[in-house]
Amino acid sequence: MTVQQDQAMAPPLLDVQEVARRLGTEPRFVRRLIAERRIEYHKLGRHVRISEPALVAFIKAGRVEPVRRSRERAA
């Protein structure tokens, strides 16, 4: 496999600022997620990057389903 094929198959990597922008938060929040290992990340030398699939998985993991209430409640 060539380097070009590897790059074509690899998911895009996002920096902390881009992840913060997509989440609508400050970069400090993303750095805290990384420090607490609450989100999957890649370490490239001293740089930290997060893949798009890891960001999507983090968002899905935080989803809370609505509670359905029974209409048969006693009055």
Per DSSP (E only), the strands in the chain are: 13-14, 42-44, 47-51
Q: What is the pLDDT of residues 11-56, one digit of tens each?
A: 899 999 999 999 999 999 999 999 999 999 999 999 999 999 999 9
Greater pLDDT, 38 or 75: 38
Question: Shortest CA distance to 22 belongs to which of 45, 51, 44, 42?
Answer: 51
pLDDT of 69 strictly over 70: yes
55: phi then psi, degrees, rounded to nearest 5: -65, -45
Task: Give the relative orientation of helices 27-35 and 16-23 as an angle to the nearest 10 degrees.
Answer: 110
Provide CATH code, domain 10-61.
Answer: 1.10.10
pTM for the model stands at 0.75
Question: Shortest CA distance to 55 belongs to which of 26, 6, 20?
Answer: 20
